[in-house]
């Protein structure tokens, strides 16, 4: 009896002579006090209205047959003023309800003195998921076609009904549930359940990233110190860069310490978006799932992640956001390099240097480990083991050699050599120095002496430099002689003929030569072993194998394998110093703007990654039984579609510029599925590893779930994500931008990301049968939707929200992850989410047209989104005013009484 009561709903139908708002007071019991506060949409005045609401009993205060429930009715004529007056109340016990015929009670509402009757309350017991085909008359009013949807509200901790619902994952908590009953076009009833949850990744992902940032920067500082002795000029630059890194490390350590003090919280409310200690935390990150149950149809569910736009609110937007700041920074960096007497490296060179460092840090331990496996197989005299280990060693070594096959490494080594103390070129030795001026000659038009790096992409062409160019180890190290004998700052990477340029080629080639020696030795050992077995009579073969010394193979292989490891280490040391020197130049000519921009980028990326990881896990758990989805996941990857409602005016344009870079940076992220050690929640939390240029998020699955994964996923294949961003501003600031400002940023973002989405679909259709994609009732296929989206993207139309609707529809048809954002994911986001949910009910589940607007207003007034508003600002009002809403598209306007001036 008790268990039944806890999972059931009590529905109350109230009837009296005026239009009043129904609410319940605290239910009372002789043993417990149970607090519930069901709410209902305001109704129009009517002579004989009906009101429906619902309530559950919290799990921490379970109901018993003896529990007394008190219902109190208030007159709420002006809901916008939150004023009400007492009308009447009634009391009943849970036992009375369970014993009543059809589990229904009809009770009279009485005034405070117990004399006057104010109306009637009908209380029903309704099982969760129950689909009664009830006659519609009992919830119709005297106004034609006006019907009241059933709204059932549950306490956040009482929402544990997860039968037949795909798991949302182990990183979600504090669910808030709402249940509705809406009429379909064929006069049937659908049950709609909203569930909103917080995500623990809001804090855990940023904390892991902060630790990785600190670790990476500390490693960078150590690499700079290990560069060895440098000339005074370069040494001073190194000290300044190390000081800057120290400042970032200290700041990140303080932020991490502050976050470690926070316990129990799993989301950052919008009112804290500019708080420094929380700047790495995403704003108001929540998941929302809508489950739809229709008669004689399979349940369907639709997921969405809502999060405030990833942006550096604490740093502000006075000078714009990341996209604008980075563009301006790259333009100004050339002048910085001149001022700091540094070598200018293009963004492509800097990215290549980071890639080389990252690849070496991963491949070198791999090679060492595989070399040990090869020796172990030789020790065991195992021919199959030897072949397998050799194949893996060859693959990784070839990958290692290919990574370092770049002129940037050689040129950086030359530049580093020139930065050593006492460096003097051959020409400087041969040519006397007079008056502190370096003398030499320029041979114009000579191509054979051109720096090899000048042909690389992103390099700025410079004056051709010959052997007579003088380069020394101080300020003049970055200067060249002009035609008239004057000095000119050199933007390019220096080319020094006096340095043995073939040294790096020899060191690098030695790795390949050593690998060939290992391969040859293994072939020789196996050939000798095969020839011995052929020569020995069959009856003596067992004795030969028994008497054979298993250590022979290892002894012969050990010298060549050791030499391979030594060559790899030598290459790693040289290349590491060279790439560190490249990054030293980058950092030196970035002071201080570059470091501030890196911090801003770290902050924005942290917020974006937390949201992405949240959406990925929710989508993964939802699709575990879908073989087509899993095939798509490992063969192509998933599209992550971010919908933004930011305007392109004032501060929000800076937020959008931040968000654009943050979403784009998610391309550097891959996911891997691993098997959890245990099924405890602590062992099912995702783990982030990597560096700024490449992060991997490892997602542990319970053992049983992991075993159902495809072999490719179980073997650790990286799973890609394709992030796309579409933005359409809808508020009054966007009106100003469209009429008097500039919306080119929005147009460029939408066009660029449409091309990414189009590329993803093309790749998907080539590798995965389209039958693997989900089926929808609407007839338009993905190709048609893409064509329509492309047309809308290039169409000059104000507040063209169809771009967002079509992009969202494409995402769902492609098994993608849906995100919706605005400044704080609270007000505009709520309008978008509820609109999308009702559109899905209309298009996919035949929601009656008469019910569409009523369902939309109901969700906005009583659904999960108004609960989200209250969680953020402790007030059940959207932060809109009447003038603002006049600029909104009509379908994004909330119902009256649900908005007002509040601090958001």
Residue 43, CA distances (Å) to 192, 850, 876, 902 in order = 21, 16, 18, 25
Q: Is the bond into 592 cis (omega within 30 degrees of 0)?
A: yes
Termini Cα distance of the chain: 45
The token pair at 154 is 């549950």
Tell me phi and psi for residue 484, to 5 degrees: -90, 10
653: helix, strand or coil: helix
User: Are 123 and 178 contacting, i.e. CB atoms less than 8 angstroms apart?
Assistant: no
CA distance 665 to 659: 10
From the candidates 199, 272, 822, 838, which is the catalytic residue?
822
Residue with tokens 């019910």: 851
* DSSP E strand stretches across 606-686: 638-644, 669-675
The token pair at 270 is 């919008």
CA distance 57 to 504: 75
* Gyration radius (Cα) of the chain, Å: 35
Tally of helices (H runs) and strands (E runs) in the chain: 25, 19
CA distance 345 to 460: 9
In 3D space, the residue among 368, 382, 365 whose CA is nearest the CA of residue 554 turns out to be 382
Residue 598 burial (CB count, 10 A): 18
CA distance 835 to 134: 27
User: Are 199 and 171 contacting, i.e. CB atoms less than 8 angstroms apart?
Assistant: yes
State how far Cα 727 lies from the chain centre: 17
The token pair at 733 is 């600031």
Residue with tokens 């961003």: 725
- For 328-337, the CB contacts below 8 A with 24+ separation are 329/590, 329/593, 329/594, 329/597, 332/593, 333/589, 333/590, 333/594, 334/460, 334/491, 336/589, 336/590, 336/591, 336/593, 337/491, 337/585, 337/589
Mind spelling out the 3-state secondary structure of 356-406?
HHHHHHHHHHHHHHHHHHHHHHHHCCCHHHHHHHHHHHHHHHHHHHHHCCC
Nearest-5° Cα angle at 200, 194 to 204: 155
Q: Which residues pair with 123 in a beta bridge?
A: 12, 105
User: Are 726 and 804 contacting, i.e. CB atoms less than 8 angstroms apart?
Assistant: yes
Q: Which residues pair with 483 in a beta bridge?
A: none
Nearest-5° Cα angle at 850, 845 to 853: 85
863: helix, strand or coil: coil
456: helix, strand or coil: coil
Residue with tokens 């420094």: 276
The token pair at 378 is 């030789």
**Known catalytic residue: 822?**
yes
Residues designated catalytic: 822
């Amino acid at each position: 009896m008790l268990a039944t009561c806890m999972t059931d709903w009590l529905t109350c139908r109230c009837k009296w002579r005026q239009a009043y708002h129904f609410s319940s007071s605290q239910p009372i019991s002789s043993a417990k006090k149970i607090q519930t506060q069901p709410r209902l949409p305001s109704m129009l005045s009517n002579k004989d209205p009906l009101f429906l609401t619902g309530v559950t009993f919290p799990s921490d205060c379970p109901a018993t047959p003896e529990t007394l429930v008190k219902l109190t009715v208030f007159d709420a004529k002006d809901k916008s003023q939150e004023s009400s007056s007492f009308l009447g109340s009634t009391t009943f016990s849970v036992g009375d309800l369970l014993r009543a015929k059809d589990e229904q009670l009809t009770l009279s509402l009485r005034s405070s003195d117990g004399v006057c009757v104010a109306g009637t309350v009908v209380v029903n017991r309704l099982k969760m998921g129950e689909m009664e085909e009830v006659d519609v008359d009992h919830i119709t009013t005297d106004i034609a076609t006006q019907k009241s949807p059933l709204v059932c509200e549950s306490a956040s901790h009482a929402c544990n009904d997860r039968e037949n619902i795909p798991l949302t994952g182990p990183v979600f908590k504090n669910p808030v549930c709402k249940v509705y009953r809406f009429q379909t076009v064929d006069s049937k009833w659908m049950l709609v359940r909203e569930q909103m949850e917080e995500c623990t990744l809001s804090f855990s992902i940023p904390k892991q990233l902060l630790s990785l940032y600190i670790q990476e920067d500390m490693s960078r500082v150590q690499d700079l110190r290990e560069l060895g002795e440098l000339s005074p000029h370069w040494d001073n630059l190194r000290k300044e860069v190390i000081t800057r890194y120290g400042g970032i490390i200290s700041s990140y350590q303080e932020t991490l310490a502050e976050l470690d003090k926070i316990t129990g919280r799993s989301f950052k409310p919008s009112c804290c978006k500019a708080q420094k200690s929380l700047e790495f935390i995403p704003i108001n990150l929540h998941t929302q799932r809508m489950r739809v149950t229709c008669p004689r149809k399979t349940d369907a569910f639709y997921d969405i992640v809502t999060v405030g736009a990833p942006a550096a609110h604490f740093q502000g937007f006075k000078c714009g956001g990341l996209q604008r700041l980075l563009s301006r920074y790259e333009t100004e960096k050339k002048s910085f390099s001149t001022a700091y007497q540094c070598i200018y490296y293009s963004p492509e060179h800097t990215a290549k240097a980071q890639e080389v460092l990252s690849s070496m840090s991963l491949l070198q331990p791999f090679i060492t480990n595989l070399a040990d496996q090869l020796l172990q197989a030789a020790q065991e005299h195992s021919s199959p083991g030897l072949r397998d280990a050799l194949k893996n060693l060859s693959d990784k070594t070839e990958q290692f050699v290919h990574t370092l096959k770049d002129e940037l490494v050689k040129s950086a080594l030359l530049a580093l050599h020139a930065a050593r103390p006492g460096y003097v070129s051959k020409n400087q030795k041969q040519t006397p120095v007079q008056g502190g001026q370096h003398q030499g000659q320029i041979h114009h038009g000579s191509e054979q002496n051109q720096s090899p790096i000048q042909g690389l992409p992103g390099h700025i062409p410079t004056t051709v430099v010959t052997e007579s160019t003088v380069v020394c180890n101080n300020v003049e190290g970055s200067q060249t002689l002009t035609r008239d004998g004057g000095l000119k700052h050199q933007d390019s990477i220096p080319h020094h003929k006096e340095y043995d340029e073939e040294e790096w080629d020899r060191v690098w080639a030695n790795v390949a030569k050593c690998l060939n020696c290992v391969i040859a030795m293994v072939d020789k050992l196996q050939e000798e072993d095969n020839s011995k077995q052929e020569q020995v009579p069959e009856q003596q073969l067992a004795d030969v194998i028994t008497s054979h010394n298993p250590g022979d193979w290892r002894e012969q292989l050990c010298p060549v394998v050791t030499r391979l490891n030594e060559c790899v280490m030598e290459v790693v040391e040289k290349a590491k110093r060279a790439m560190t020197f490249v990054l030293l130049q980058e950092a030196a000519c970035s002071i201080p703007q570059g470091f501030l921009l890196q911090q801003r980028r770290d902050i924005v990326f942290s917020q974006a990654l937390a949201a992405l990881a949240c959406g990925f896990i929710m989508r993964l758990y939802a699709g575990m039984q879908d073989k087509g989805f899993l095939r798509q996941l490992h063969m192509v990857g998933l599209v992550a579609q971010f919908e933004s409602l930011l305007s392109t005016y004032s501060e929000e344009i800076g937020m959008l510029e931040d968000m654009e870079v943050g979403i784009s940076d998610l391309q550097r992220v891959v996911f891997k599925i691993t098997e959890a050690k245990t099924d405890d929640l602590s062992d099912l939390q995702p783990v982030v590893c990597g560096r700024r240029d490449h992060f991997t998020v490892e997602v542990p699955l319970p053992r049983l779930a992991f075993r159902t994964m495809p072999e490719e996923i179980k073997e650790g294949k990286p799973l890609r994500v394709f992030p796309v961003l579409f933005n359409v501003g809808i508020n009054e600031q966007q009106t100003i931008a469209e009429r008097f400002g500039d919306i080119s940023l929005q147009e460029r973002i939408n066009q660029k990301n449409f091309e990414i989405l189009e590329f993803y679909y093309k790749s998907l259709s080539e590798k995965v049968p389209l039958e693997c994609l989900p089926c929808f009732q609407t007839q338009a296929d993905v190709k048609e939707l893409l064509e329509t989206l492309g047309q809308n993207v290039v169409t000059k139309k104000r507040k063209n929200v169809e771009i967002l609707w079509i992009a969202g529809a494409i995402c769902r048809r492609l098994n993608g992850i849906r995100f919706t954002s605005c400044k704080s994911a609270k007000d505009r986001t709520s309008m978008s989410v509820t609109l999308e949910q009702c559109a899905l009910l209309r298009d996919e589940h035949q929601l009656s047209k008469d019910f569409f607007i009523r369902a939309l207003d109901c969700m906005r007034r009583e659904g999960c989104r108004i609960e989200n508003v209250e969680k953020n600002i402790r007030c059940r009002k959207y932060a809109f005013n009447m003038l603002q809403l006049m600029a909104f598209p009509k379908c994004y306007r909330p119902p009256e009484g649900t908005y007002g001036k509040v601090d958001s």
